[in-house]
Structure 1
Amino acid sequence: MSIKDAVRPVVRDARATVLPDPADRHGPLPPVMLALTVVTGLVDAYSYLALGHVFVANMTGNVVFSGFAVAGAAGFSLAASLAALAAFGAGALVGGRIAHARRAHRGRVLHLALVLETALVLTAYVVARYTGPLDAAGTRYSLIALLGLALGIQNATARALAVPDLTTTVLTLTITGIAADSRAAGGRGGRTGRRALSILAMFAGALAGAFAVRHSDPALPLLLATVLLAGCTLDAFVLTRSDARWTDPL
């Protein structure tokens, strides 16, 4: 097989993710989920670099960080990691309730979740930009709580919508899928383009967030995340009016 033959299905899969077929089972959801993956990169870059070795979206990292903190490793806070885990769990509970209450229409699930997430991230931006220093306990833990809640809602919503390979937060299985399902491994190489886009979206968000924290306004990643979320929320509002097949629960 030539390189062109190998690349063609990957490009086709990526294009179908960015510009999905309206008749597809997941309809217009994939590009929205990609945008939310960028949001995750932005917000986790902010939380890790500005709030001090804590994630608000990647809970695997917080579990590991908790172990580091208990072992006495420098630079890790058990209280911060546990606060993020608690906030994320509470957000996931809220997201789950939204999903179950609106499950008859996937677009309405997405819209309501995004309204709440946008409000929370916008509030976090205001706190980060206009209140006390980030090393003040009240400011730091307020931001962890707000962002943990927001990303918990997002993650629960992504789980309920169940768009394949677009979880918006966890990339371990995405990366595993690229290798394990590849033709080299004896698989069919399915959805490689979509998986690659998911990885690139997270990377782009993390890169932009890290650059902003280190070289510009430290709160800028939260503003960028808010703008992206506001756009997704408007898009989701339009989707609430659809009665296409993709809106039906899985």
Structure 2
Amino acid sequence: MPAALREAWTTLVPDMGDRHGPLPPLMLALTVVTGLVDAFSYLVLGHVFVANMTGNVVFSGFALAGAPGFSLAASLAALAAFAAGALLGGRLAHGARAHRGRVLHLALLLETALMLAAYVIAEATATPYTGTARYALIALLGLAMGVQNAAARALAVPDLTTTVLTLTITGVAADSRLAGGKGGKAGRRSVSAAAMFTGGLVGAIAVLHSSPALPLLFAAVLLTAATITTFALTRSDATWTNPL
């Protein structure tokens, strides 16, 4: 089997004796969630991201320059909510640092609650979302994505950050044999990019051809399944649960 395909397979179906145990497929599920949520935020809430903070920094510059369709207030609200979520996620991670399964489970409990609250608001509010409803959705989703990103940072599963693909794609090219490297872990990195793409694609199709709130429902279902899975993992004493 080619190395890239083997890397992709072991990411999707990991060796439980590996240093990261069952974490890689869970990180991929969270990457799909990122694609779903950013599809909703960008297409439904205006030109704003709730997971991709690089985009919001750039959008803030666009808004200050007077570019149409960009809101400085919305971008700053997303940045503030994400930072607050990262703070909460960091406190959870430091509090449960002795067990990586507990870190992820606690973060997922909070993220799932925030996602369900956002879905309820999105479903109960008429579109287009404006005023209080819009900013409530930005705040809840920004908090959720901040918590997720903090947990992913604490778990530190290589090439599976769940929200950032710039360095992942750079690694595929820069570490490739063509560039003189050792191969660049193209399989794992490509699966991560595919997960984000899938979330974005499904989210966009749902927004454009069904219900605007549907991506949040899909994200909540994925998060609920991951939360249930990680509950069982909190009882494990395998090597992967030890902090890095």
**Range into which the TM-score falls when normalised by the shorter chain:** over 0.9
Q: Deviations over 1:95-151 (max 9, x none)?
A: 000010000000000000000000100110000001344432100000000000000
| Alignment match of 1:236 (pick from 212, 230, 234) | 230
Which of these residues, 86, 98, 108, is aligned with residue 92 of structure 1? Answer: 86
The equivalences for 1:1-250 within 5 A come to 8-250=2-244
Unmatched 5+ stretches in structure 2:
none
Q: How far apart, CA to CA, are the structure 2 residues paired with 1:130 and 1:123?
A: 11
Give the partner amino acid of 1:82.
L
Letter of the structure 2 residue corresponding to residue 123 of structure 1: A
Measured after TM superposition, the shift of residue 191 of structure 1 is: 1.7
Describe the superposition over 1:189-248 as per-residue Cα deviations: whole angstroms up to 9, x where unpaired.
142100000000000000000011011001000000000000100111011010000000
Whether contact under 8 Å (1:12, 1:193) holds in the other structure is: yes
Structure 1 counterpart SS, 2:2:
helix
Cα displacement (A) at 1:66: 0.1
- Structure 1 residue ranges (4+ consecutive) displaced by more than 4 angstroms after TM superposition: none
Letter in structure 2 aligned against 1:247: T
SS in 2 for 1:164: coil
| Residue 3 of structure 1: aligned partner | none
1:10 partner amino acid:
A
Q: State the secondary structure of the residue aligned to 1:229.
A: helix
Query: Which structure 1 segments of 5+ residues have no match?
Result: 1-6
Letter paired with 1:226: A
Would you say how many aligned residue pairs link Structure 1 and Structure 2?
A: 244
2:4/2:185 contact within 8 Å kept:
yes
1 CA distance for matches of 2:237 and 2:99? Answer: 8
Q: CA RMSD in A?
A: 0.8
**Partner Cα distance (2:13, 2:4) in 1:** 14
